[in-house]
Amino acid sequence: MSALTEMLRSHPQKPTTHFDAIARCIEACFECEQICVTCADACLAEEQVGMLRECIRLNLDCADLCGATGRLISRQARPEPALWRATLEACAQACRSCAEECAKHQDRHEHCRICKESCERCERACRDALQQMPSGGAESRH
């Protein structure tokens, strides 16, 4: 059991119905943030940096969204369903945009291939977490 999973299990108000999907999503978000930050820096170090401008931008966008989303869903005590949905949607979109751009460069740059795969994992994890959110949750909270 990772330190993160152990941590989430010790939370006094952890979610009961979709704990695993959320735990995976948090791990995927923080991993993707870190990998996107590194991919941006690796792109900056490539000789043909001029062809990687858009990749660097989307790396940075994706890193910021993943970081904010990972933090938000780590605060699991009383999730605000409408906010979780909008945030997970935005994060999935950031991962999608970044993965598509990285895919264009993956044959030439190994770091873009690794980053694309991390973005795809994170997009899937966000969509899984979205699907497992209790339906009608927005109402049931109040």
Give residues in contact with a copy of itself (CB under 8 A). Answer: 3-4, 6-8, 10-13, 26, 30-31, 33-35, 37-42, 44-46, 49-50, 53-54, 56-58, 60-61, 63-65, 67-68, 70-72, 74-78, 80, 82-83, 86-87, 89-90, 93-94, 97, 109-111, 114-115, 117-118
CA gyration radius, the chain: 16
Compare residues 115 and 125 and give the one whose CB is closer to a copy of itself: 115
Nearer to a copy of itself, 30 or 129 (CB): 30
- Give the type of residue at 127: R
Structure tokens at 139: 């109402």
Structure tokens at 94: 């950031």
Q: Which is nearer to a copy of itself, 35 or 133 (CB)?
A: 35
Token pair 């030439």 in the structure block, residue: 108
Least distance from C-beta 132 to a copy of itself, angstroms? 19
Angstrom distances, CA of residue 73 to CA of 14, 49, 57, 111: 11, 34, 24, 27
In whole angstroms, how close is the CB of 36 to a copy of itself at the nearest point?
9
Element (H, E) at 54: helix 53-74
Residue 35, token pair as written in the block: 């990998």
